[in-house]
A and B are shown apart, each in its own frame.
Chain A
């Protein structure tokens, strides 16, 4: 079933239940709660997916609205039904165990929002001023995020959080607060009813739309780079898998050398495309491939034509620049040396783990001026971590 169809089923289910309740018990608050329950269930399938951050369902925002509109017991019941409904139509995780674990996690997150909101409003006392309500709602909106982060740490068995993609958290907390306060206003004044949460979901949906498109174009861009990196291999100019293996190794060496995530990304692009220049050169005619310097220069020249790829072009151009010329203002030279070492290592080992030791030894015994000793040391660390070195030189 397509995602939009599943969304429609959940929203329509909530609406049908609400209509049924309204017919049976006109004016019952359960009709409103059924609609919010439908929104919680559907919101599970609409996730903000910022780069380098686990997906964040917008149901968290509706959980805060639910906390504002219902008592703890009522909210728990609605939450349980909504999450069970999502469990039935959810396509991911594919395993039942995985979906059950997610169901339990979501119930915990939802209840965290409900309990925190009610706990805070009770302890802050009457009258419920605008400041008090906003504070309680904001903390309640943060609660499911904290539970989700804790669950991730337990799952990954790794303490610590990443700052990446946190703007999505901010968007969720601000929108949730506004959606919840707009439903009933403050102290019975200024509520928009269900129109409030509906209208203030728009910024969240705009954020979701933007993140979706960003993720899609990022994936397409990465795949385009990888496909182009494979062109020389498909043309029989380079051994199969060379670009991917060199990219993997340069990323590991760059990370071990303390490069930033951005620098590592540029290094990876350069590694994937470092043989691209070969496709533009005339064949020498004597059966030998073109000179590596010519390949690097031709490749760099192509990539420098695009602002986004120009840094990768600089790295490729620097691959064959004497490393002793490096200066602090030219980080591409260091990256170029990493690329040169990784490429040479792969050509020597040809992707065979059992040849790694010999390949590394060959690099170590090369003349000093050929490879940067610091990069060789970083390569040794990487190979050692991977258990590929039995004979360090």
Chain B
């Protein structure tokens, strides 16, 4: 039995277990609780179920950050409204509706739909128990008590929901459960203000009627639409940079994937140094664009097999100040752009001030050593590590070197000779030895170059 089949079986078992458990628990709760189905209850069920469906299917989420999440708000509103109407199962039903994703329905992913509905039902059941216990008689409790009950109810919902949905995600993505759970909890925490808004929505519904609800929904929709525009433009910005990196790599076939790898290694170091999301984003962009100045270097020089002449090398070296100049023109990257050149990055060896250029410098050097270039083949990872360690404190920032080596070793990743992903088609086979670049000391004299 292969691994994929085993994972699928585990997911089937998880879904079946959770669904059965939820049905049993909800049935028991329905039989033992207060459930008065009046006309106003049915109207509220319809209104909130439609809101929940709409919120789930128009949710805007950032890759790793705040999203405009409406589902939590509607679920908390259901807690408030059905507490007043005395319908214990109301929030559970609304929760189930909020779990229905139209995309999954279109794909006939019934197992996912069932799991999500069961997870939401169970989470809402737990939240309802807490909310009813906290509010005592009804929502006529004081505002402060209602707020506390709402906060605890929402925390209960998120506290049950996150561990449950982390199970299939971890299984299907083959990622550690704790890692997935941490990501989901981080996302849930920023959705928490919307839980408070749910209290407001419930209050508006009960006190002022459903007609006033649009006053709350309209600004949320506007915020959502603006956030969607932001995400769209952000994706456009990333695509623009990636397209230009591809154009750059088309000029210099030996550096295919170099910018992305430098960005990845820089992110490894940033994560080791516990960078925040925004700082990490800036580091990634700066790393992706660190060689953008090569756009102005003639293709013939970038792809020249063998050694460069001094004048050719000077032309190639111009890409560094041009990269700095271009990054300087972008406010977001300007703070880390000034020192991206080799000289300035090595000047940051003492670790004082902005460390991003030093990170990119180390990542760039590591990838350069572990990749095949026009002037030599890839070195082994061990040799590259040894070179970095040898230069730590002088050529490279020691903290960055340690962080990069630790990050790669912890991930058990291997780069360099024997581990290169891209196949090379050399016009002139590069030499195997030499840790230097085509830098000073490795140049050919002009008169030698001129000799046929």
Kindly state whether residue A219 has any CB partner on chain B within 8 Å. Answer: yes
Q: Which residues of B contact A232 (CB under 8 A)?
A: 296
Shortest CB distance B220–A (Å): 5
B243 engages A309 (CB within 8 Å): yes
Chain B 221-237, CB-CB to A under 8 Å as 1, else 0, gives 01111110110011011
Name the residue on A nearest B196 (C-beta). A199
Kindly state whether residue A148 has any CB partner on chain B within 8 Å. Answer: no
Kindly state whether residue B200 has any CB partner on chain A within 8 Å. Answer: yes
**Residues 181-216 of A at the B interface (beta carbon under 8 Å):** 181-182, 185-186, 189-190, 192-193, 195-196, 199-200, 202-207, 209-211, 213-214, 216
Of the candidates A206, A221, A230, the one having the most CB atoms from chain B within 10 angstroms of its own CB is A206
A302 engages B296 (CB within 8 Å): no
**Residues 205-228 of B at the A interface (beta carbon under 8 Å):** 206-209, 212, 214-216, 218-220, 222-227
Q: Which residues of B contact A286 (CB under 8 A)?
A: none
A220 engages B250 (CB within 8 Å): no
B203 engages A309 (CB within 8 Å): no
Of the candidates A199, A221, A235, the one having the most CB atoms from chain B within 10 angstroms of its own CB is A199
Shortest CB distance B55–A (Å): 13
Kindly state whether residue A146 has any CB partner on chain B within 8 Å. Answer: no
Name the residue on B nearest A231 (C-beta). B295
Find B326's partner among A196, A200, A230 (CB 8 Å cutoff). Answer: A230
Find A195's partner among B143, B227, B299 (CB 8 Å cutoff). Answer: B143
| Among B258-266, B329-337, B356-364, the stretch in contact with A | B329-337
* Complexed CA–CA distance, A217 and B232 (Å): 10
Kindly state whether residue A160 has any CB partner on chain B within 8 Å. Answer: no
Q: A171-B223, A177-B215, A228-B244 are in contact. Are A279 and B200 (CB under 8 A)?
A: no
Kindly state whether residue A248 has any CB partner on chain B within 8 Å. Answer: no
B247 engages A302 (CB within 8 Å): yes
Q: A178-B204, A282-B298 are in contact. Are A167 and B325 (CB under 8 A)?
A: no
* Complexed CA–CA distance, A104 and B204 (Å): 35
A279 engages B296 (CB within 8 Å): yes
Kindly state whether residue B322 has any CB partner on chain A within 8 Å. Answer: yes
A213 engages B227 (CB within 8 Å): yes
Name the residue on A nearest B226 (C-beta). A210
Q: A223-B331, A279-B296 are in contact. Are A167 and B244 (CB under 8 A)?
A: no
Chain B 321-356, CB-CB to A under 8 Å as 1, else 0, gives 010011101111000000000000000000000000
* Complexed CA–CA distance, A231 and B248 (Å): 12
Shortest CB distance A32–B (Å): 14
**Residues 114-135 of B at the A interface (beta carbon under 8 Å):** none
Kindly state whether residue B417 has any CB partner on chain A within 8 Å. Answer: no
Name the residue on A nearest B211 (C-beta). A130
Shortest CB distance B127–A (Å): 18
**Residues 272-326 of B at the A interface (beta carbon under 8 Å):** 292-293, 295-300, 318, 322, 325-326
* Complexed CA–CA distance, A279 and B301 (Å): 13
Size class of the A contact interface (CB-based, 8 Å): 35 or more
Shortest CB distance A182–B (Å): 7
* Complexed CA–CA distance, A130 and B296 (Å): 67
Find A302's partner among B243, B299, B318 (CB 8 Å cutoff). Answer: B243
Q: A167-B222, A282-B298, A283-B298 are in contact. Are A217 and B243 (CB under 8 A)?
A: no
A303 engages B233 (CB within 8 Å): no
* Complexed CA–CA distance, A239 and B374 (Å): 32
Kindly state whether residue A76 has any CB partner on chain B within 8 Å. Answer: no
A219 engages B246 (CB within 8 Å): no
Kindly state whether residue B50 has any CB partner on chain A within 8 Å. Answer: no
Name the residue on B nearest A285 (C-beta). B300
Q: Which residues of B contact A170 (CB under 8 A)?
A: 218-219, 222
Q: Which residues of A contact B219 (CB under 8 A)?
A: 170-172, 174-175, 203-204, 206-207
A209 engages B218 (CB within 8 Å): no
Q: A178-B216, A228-B244, A305-B246 are in contact. Are A203 and B237 (CB under 8 A)?
A: no
Q: Which residues of B contact A235 (CB under 8 A)?
A: 295-297, 318, 322
Name the residue on B nearest A215 (C-beta). B230
Chain A interface residues toward B at CB < 8 A: 50, 130, 134, 167-168, 170-172, 174-175, 177-178, 181-182, 185-186, 189-190, 192-193, 195-196, 199-200, 202-207, 209-211, 213-214, 216-221, 223-228, 230-232, 234-237, 279-283, 302-303, 305-309
27 residue pairs of the A-B complex, CB under 8 angstroms, read A167-B226, A174-B216, A174-B219, A185-B207, A199-B200, A202-B194, A202-B200, A203-B197, A206-B219, A206-B223, A210-B227, A210-B230, A214-B233, A217-B234, A218-B233, A219-B332, A220-B331, A223-B331, A226-B329, A230-B326, A234-B326, A279-B251, A279-B296, A280-B247, A302-B243, A303-B243, A308-B236
Which 4 residue pairs are nearest across A and B when measured between Cβ atoms? A235-B296, A190-B207, A308-B236, A210-B226
Chain B interface residues toward A at CB < 8 A: 66, 68, 143-144, 147, 193-194, 196-197, 199-200, 203-204, 206-209, 212, 214-216, 218-220, 222-227, 229-230, 233-234, 236-237, 239-244, 246-247, 250-251, 292-293, 295-300, 318, 322, 325-327, 329-332
Other A-B pairs beyond A227-B329, A279-B247, A303-B243, 15, CB < 8 Å: A171-B219, A174-B214, A178-B216, A181-B208, A185-B207, A195-B143, A196-B203, A204-B219, A206-B220, A210-B230, A219-B332, A220-B237, A220-B332, A305-B243, A306-B240
